[in-house]
Amino acid sequence: MCKSFASLEENIGYTFKQKSLLRQALTHSSYANENRNLPFNERLEFLGDAVLSLITADLLYGKFPDMPEGQLTKLRSALVCTASLSGYARQISLGDFLLLGKGEDANGGRRRNSNLENAFEALIAAIYLDGGFASARKFVIPFLENSVETHQIRFKDYKTKLQEIVQESHEETLNYVVVKESGPDHDKRYEVEVHLNSNVIGKGTGKSKKQAEQEAAKQALQLMGL
């Protein structure tokens, strides 16, 4: 038996103006099949996935200004994978509020990761449609912030990793030097060397100075066996 939707609104700190959106977000297709003409949450899930992706990308882009695109993509994937999303859903006891068909409910549907993930994304979309992007972002950010703290150690950018290693010795000085700049303004290429004291320990190229510096730091770490 699902709990009162008012309890869920209290859990998430958001009160819906359009209660029908909340109900739809929590309605599984199995329940809709048993109760004709009811909208269920698949379309909202589609929209919520896109809203969540934008919120996550925006957060990471601002939080990690030196992290390369590949690392940002990996971290975003970790934050919004099925295990993470179903975990966020459990934090607000979302499974207790799902509207499920009798068979789905009897077979553990309230605990199923896929159901929890889908409902969480649908809930994001419902908040977005009801209260706008700012409301959806306010709801999502605390989950992501907490999860970033768990995952970011594995996803530190190369420059940060190299800097931390060098800082262990106060006598060492790390410096990035642009040694070549080529190409037209709309398609620049930079070549950068990273120097440890006066020694070149890595080289990198990229479409921006930051990207080239990251590649140089990456090569330096590889030469160190890290």
Q: Residue 1: pLDDT band by 50, 70, 90 thresholds?
A: very low
Decide if 121 is catalytic.
yes
> What share of the chain has pLDDT > 90, as a percent?
64
The arithmetic mean of pLDDT across residues 170-180, rounded, is 87
Q: Looking at residues 172-194, what average pLDDT do you find?
A: 90
pLDDT at 107 over 60: yes
Which residue among 117, 121, 157, 215 is the active-site one?
A: 121
5-155 adopts what CATH topology? Ribonuclease iii, N-terminal Endonuclease Domain; Chain A (1.10.1520)
**pTM attached to this predicted model:** 0.72
Catalytic residue check, 49: yes
Does 45 show up as a binding residue in the annotation? yes
Q: Specify the range with the lowest mean pLDDT, choosing from 129-133, 167-171, 216-220.
A: 167-171
What was the pLDDT predicted at 193? 95
68: confidence class by pLDDT, cuts 50, 70, 90: confident
DSSP symbols for the chain? -PPPHHHHHHHHT---SSHHHHHHHTB-HHHHHHSTT---SHHHHHHHHHHHHHHHHHHHHHH-TT--HHHHHHHHHHHSSHHHHHHHHHHTTGGGG-B--HHHHHTTTTT-HHHHHHHHHHHHHHHHHHH-HHHHHHHHHHHHHHHHHHHGGGG--HHHHHHHHHHTSTT--EEEEEEEEES-GGG-EEEEEEEETTEEEEEEEESSHHHHHHHHHHHHHHHTT-
User: What are the sequence ranges of the domains in the chain?
Assistant: 5-155, 158-223
Residues 158-223, CATH architecture: 2-Layer Sandwich (3.30)
Choosing from 9, 34, 42, 49, the catalytic residue is 49
pLDDT the model gives residue 96: 94
